Each structure stands twice: as C-alpha cells, then as structure tokens.
Structure 1
Amino acid sequence: MSKRYLQKATKGKLLIIIFIVTLWGKVVSSANHHKGNPLTQEKPSDPQGR
C-alpha cells in the first residue's frame, strides 16, 4: 500500500509543479509583454531595429 500511495503522491506533486511553472510562465510573459523586456531595451545595436 505504501508504494501505491507514494506513486499517487509523486504524481500529484508533479502535476502541481507543472501547474505552478505554467502559471509563472504566463505571468512573466504577460509582464514582459506589457512593460517591454529590459534586456532588449539595453542593446541599441539590435540588427532588427527593435
């Protein structure tokens, strides 16, 4: 029974981690989208002219 519980707990933790990472990625990308990425603003010699 302990093995079965361990598998379920591991699966649940994995799903929670994936959910948090996805949510964090969405928050970061939306924040960068609205205020602009500071890394691209620091480089004036961008060949694409952004």
Structure 2
Amino acid sequence: MEGEALPDALVISVGCFVDTTFAPPAAVFWASRRHSWYDLAEGIQSLD
C-alpha cells in the first residue's frame, strides 16, 4: 500500500502476518471510526 503523504514509504498492515507477538500499536488514528468490536487497550493513544 502506498500513502500519499509518504510516497517513498511502503506500508504493510501488521494483520497480514501470522506472528501474534507483534507489539501493540502506540496510537490509533481515526479511532472514532473504528469498528464497534475493536476495543483499544489501556495506554494506546487515540487520535482523530
């Protein structure tokens, strides 16, 4: 996936990997638009 803001960056969603030991996110962008079943863990910054 390519982002318009960072055209030279490659973005890969961590959910594409089977490895369940990935660290949790430090922040969630557009948190108010997340699915109702997606709960934010304690300490994760919520940005909109």
Query: Structure 2 length normalisation: TM-score?
Result: 0.19
Higher helix share: 1
Structure of higher RCO (CA pairs closer than 8 Å, 6+ residues apart): 2
Q: Which structure has the larger Rg over C-alpha atoms?
A: 1
Query: Structure 1 length normalisation: TM-score?
Result: 0.19
